[in-house]
Structure 1
Amino acid sequence: MGRTTSAETKQGDSFTIGPTAIDALKKWPEMRQRNDEITFNPKICYCKITGERITEPMELTELMPKDSGMKRVYRHSRPKFHKMLLEQLNKVGLSVEYGKEVADYFEDVGSNRAGVVLKDGSKHEADLIVAADGVRGASWSLIAGRPVSAKSSGDAIFRVAYPIAIALKDPVIAERFPLLEDGRPLAELWVGTDEEMSFAIQHPDTGTAEESWGHRVHPDEVLKYTATVEGWPEVANRVIKATPPDLLVDWKLMWRDPQPTWTSPGGRVVQLGDAGHTFLPSSGNGATQAIEDAVSLAACISMARSNEDIPDATRVHNLLRFERVSFLQAFGIKNRAKHSSGTNSGGDAKRNVVHFGKWMVEHDPEEYALRNYQQALECLRSGLPFKNSNTPPGVEYRPWTIDGLLEAQEKGEPTVLDGDWD
């Protein structure tokens, strides 16, 4: 919980982007500069559920490996980041159409084409279709022949961001969430920036939450929950009460098992981001991996010599990305446990601070794809195994499921999370 100073209010709160995604902007200097301009740069500290601090304020770079060159972690307003991407598309002459909801995907191997069917029945075709339509995308029927089932984690998150000026009208809030001496905001997990007041409160799902940005609830619903939390501070309730009633989302936390195949049978439709691999908000990696996906896919497509080679490119991209992403999905589950045991109960705070290993933050998805493309393609064609090197060093990948991982953790048995992840 914390404060983030603009009067603009749009859908979405904020998210974190790691160095591997930001480094991908190096070829677009204007966009990289714009990214630096719109980012929040808070310090961070961990608190008990009562708001009492259990760590001193620290730089986000302290979550990085000590010898990683102090790579930055960026905190972004979702609407502002989307606007930056749209500005870049306009600069290169590409437009985005809205209100065109995709109902289905198809491909025609004989004609080397694929396409989408919209809700209005119209069809659009191309050499390649990128399904980047989120957690409930319609591409799984083509990719896997069936929808991918989702299982409730038992929890949900009340989440919102709104203009700081609304919150600061309450003097108690203004006193509790001041800027630091150097003028920077402090994210308290309890999370914040310098332009918005935002909060995210994980709570047991009573069956009414939905996995949708459109599922709005009244702040009174949050107050019903906080009334059950022993020691919950009044200032936090004041932040909740100040929330505009049309912004607050109750987001259902859903488990999905890793899906190793992101391409259609003919390779002409490929999933990207949440459409292929969903992350829990606690992972701190969903946005980063979506951008890594985009960079990797573009690099692989650049290696295709003709339209006929596109299916090879999408399958190589899938091979180069799946194990890395699957490891990081499991890492999100580990982080969720850390948040629960460390910040809520006030346990060993230092032990429960989330840190990112070098393999996570020093990866270059473009260079990796270009360097490994030919070998990966040969392995796909020959059926020989390909060994990825963009995963935790020395840790052998093992297929896993949510239920299997949680059960093994509870029993103290080996899991994919074992080994040196730092």
Structure 2
Amino acid sequence: MSTMNGATSPDNHGKGFAQVAPPNSTGIKIIVVGAGFAGLACAIESKRKGHEVVILEKFKELKALGDIISFGNNAGRVFERWGLHDKFWAVCSHVETLMIHNSQGELLLEQPNPDPLFGAYAYNGHRGELHTMLFDYAQSLGIDIRLGQDVTEYWETDNEAGVIANSEKIAADVVVGADGVRSRARTLVLGYEDKPKSSGYAVYRSWFDCAEQGVDKDPMTSFICQGKDLFYGWIGKDVHFLAHSSSGGKKLSNVITHKDDADIAESWSFPGKMEDCLKIVEGWDPRCAALLSKAPSLVDWKLVYRDPMPTWISKGARLALIGDAAHPFLPTSQQGASQAVEDGVTLAVVLQLAGKENVHLAVREWEKIRYQRVRRAQLIGESVRDMWHKAKPEDRGNAVALPRPEWLLGHDAEKHAYEVYDATTKEIQEKGYELPTLPPVVPVAGA
């Protein structure tokens, strides 16, 4: 048996490769650009698989920013395997039921929220708190994390790849672009610069202390501060509003998605105006305006859209885009961060199995393993948004329920990568590498 930080793993998967390998045992060096959830997950699993990793992050210091973030059970099983369950669980919300209403406040569905599900836990908590914990864990493993790094150029040759960061040329076997929707690496992969487009929607977001804003004292809002975590949703034409209390009902996250065609060419996050936000829920259940108006400030976040990239990897297959850099998700998918974690875990495994002499093959295998699954998960976000925004007055129960398919939440990215590696390798070797194809669109009921 092999261990790291108390985590125990079987020695092999029929191939003689340990799930937790000795440090730097593969000889593969990886540069990860970006220390968000995608970059940290990739670096952590790469360290566990015996690769040498350096993370280059543009921010000069770590800041606990953001509001609520959701990790599905598919990512949760990874965190639990890393020994992070107790730390994450202590700061996460624990909602038993999602209560969905129409715009007039009629209850349409009480959807149980079982946890664990499919053998793993989900984690929903403050983005900054969870990110800090993951960052600290990466540092505890000895991962080289360099802050204040301005990556201005990506390059690759037949034998290596690298970046220019703070005017320094850094080389490795693989470069992983995990630097979000503004990723500079996208241009190298695509061969041109693609601009983000408006998705046609925007979100007003807020996160605040209930007692400080009098949520618990107001008879119109105190229902969400009852000593436990609660999750309320309201849906209407082209709008849905989610109010989520956490920390035992002490904190509140408000997220309202609405139509918005604003130009997002330069920036898509602004200070929000409360009067504009409240106009969206005029004529709605008065609890909606009451909850929204408690926020001391708002973020007006324009939801960007990009056409699915034809590939996430460079021509030489030594550069891979992961997370939002490759495939931004809508919030209604509740899978953006989870799929980023799966990206990093899968890439670390296939690099371990392929070895230093076959890095280009491993990167192509990674894309083949991941591409259709990620796109299928993306489409759930679009389907859920449309289901809620186009709901008919008579829709109740499962007609407005959040889908929780086993193929998505029951997935074990690490185990799956070991299982399909041989077949994927054989297919590429026999047929050559072909660009991935998009999966068919499926209705949300069949998601």
Normalization by structure 1: what TM-score? 0.79
Query: After superposition, what is the alpha-carbon deviation per residue over 1:90-141, rounded to whole angstroms, capped at 9, x for unaligned?
Result: 21122433332333311122xx2212234x4333222211111111111111
Cα distance change, pair 91–18 in 1 and its aligned pair in 2 (3 A): same
Counterpart in the other structure of 1:25: 79
Q: 1:353 aligned to 2:353?
A: no
1:216 to 270, 276, 300: 270
Distance 1:385 1:263 in 2: 12
Distance 1:193 1:290 in 2: 25
Query: After superposition, what is the alpha-carbon deviation per residue over 1:29-88, rounded to whole angstroms, capped at 9, x for unaligned?
Result: 2x22212222211132112234453333x4322996xxx46x543212101110111111
Q: 1:416 aligned to 2:441?
A: yes
Q: 1:141 aligned to 2:187?
A: yes
Q: Give 5+ residue unaligned stretches, structure 1.
A: 1-8, 387-396, 401-414
Distance 1:142 1:347 in 2: 46
Counterpart in the other structure of 1:165: 211
Q: 1:41 aligned to 2:85?
A: no
1:200 to 251, 255, 270: 255
Distance 1:78 1:210 in 2: 25
Cα distance change, pair 211–254 in 1 and its aligned pair in 2 (3 A): farther
Larger relative contact order (Cα-Cα within 8 Å, sequence gap ≥ 6): 1
Contact preservation (8 Å) 1:260, 1:322: no
Counterpart in the other structure of 2:438: 399
1:13 to 36, 59, 67: 67
Q: Which amino acid aligns with 1:271?
A: L
Contact preservation (8 Å) 1:39, 1:74: yes
Counterpart in the other structure of 2:341: 291
Counterpart in the other structure of 1:116: 163
Query: After superposition, what is the alpha-carbon deviation per residue over 1:288-322, rounded to whole angstroms, capped at 9, x for unaligned?
Result: 1111111111111111322x211111111110000
Q: Which amino acid aligns with 1:23?
A: R
Cα distance change, pair 173–158 in 1 and its aligned pair in 2 (3 A): farther
Query: Which structure shows the higher strand fraction?
Result: 2
Contact preservation (8 Å) 2:383, 2:443: no
Distance 2:343 2:93 in 1: 24
Q: Which amino acid aligns with 1:399?
A: L
Q: CA deviation at 1:269?
A: 1.1
Cα distance change, pair 145–208 in 1 and its aligned pair in 2 (3 A): closer
Cα distance change, pair 169–305 in 1 and its aligned pair in 2 (3 A): closer
Contact preservation (8 Å) 2:270, 2:301: no
Counterpart in the other structure of 1:392: none
Q: 1:101 aligned to 2:141?
A: no
Contact preservation (8 Å) 2:198, 2:264: no
Counterpart in the other structure of 2:202: 156
Counterpart in the other structure of 1:319: 368
Distance 1:18 1:148 in 2: 30
Counterpart in the other structure of 1:369: 417
Q: Give 5+ residue unaligned stretches, structure 2.
A: 1-62, 234-241
Secondary structure in structure 2 of the residue aligned to 1:61: coil
Distance 2:64 2:135 in 1: 15
Q: 1:77 aligned to 2:123?
A: no
Q: 1:257 aligned to 2:307?
A: yes
Query: After superposition, what is the alpha-carbon deviation per residue over 1:229-263, rounded to whole angstroms, capped at 9, x for unaligned?
Result: 43235554444444333xx3211122222224111
Distance 1:211 1:108 in 2: 32
Contact preservation (8 Å) 2:231, 2:244: yes
Distance 2:261 2:438 in 1: 31
Distance 1:249 1:420 in 2: 32
Q: Which amino acid aligns with 1:336?
A: R
Query: After superposition, what is the alpha-carbon deviation per residue over 1:366-401, rounded to whole angstroms, capped at 9, x for unaligned?
Result: 111112112212211222699xxxxxxxxxx9637x
Distance 1:185 1:117 in 2: 46
Distance 1:313 1:378 in 2: 12
1:383 to 421, 427, 431: 431
Secondary structure in structure 2 of the residue aligned to 1:100: coil
Distance 2:310 2:224 in 1: 46
Secondary structure in structure 2 of the residue aligned to 1:55: strand
Q: Which amino acid aligns with 1:127?
A: D
Q: Which amino acid aligns with 1:309?
A: N
Distance 2:174 2:148 in 1: 21
Contact preservation (8 Å) 1:173, 1:239: no
Q: 1:125 aligned to 2:171?
A: yes
Q: Which amino acid aligns with 2:415?
A: E
RMSD of aligned residue pairs (Cα, Å): 3.0
Normalization by structure 2: what TM-score? 0.75
Aligned counterparts, 1:213-292, within 5 A: 215-218=269-272, 221-245=273-297, 248-292=298-342
Cα distance change, pair 299–398 in 1 and its aligned pair in 2 (3 A): closer
Cα distance change, pair 131–12 in 1 and its aligned pair in 2 (3 A): same
Distance 1:204 1:293 in 2: 31
Distance 1:322 1:188 in 2: 33
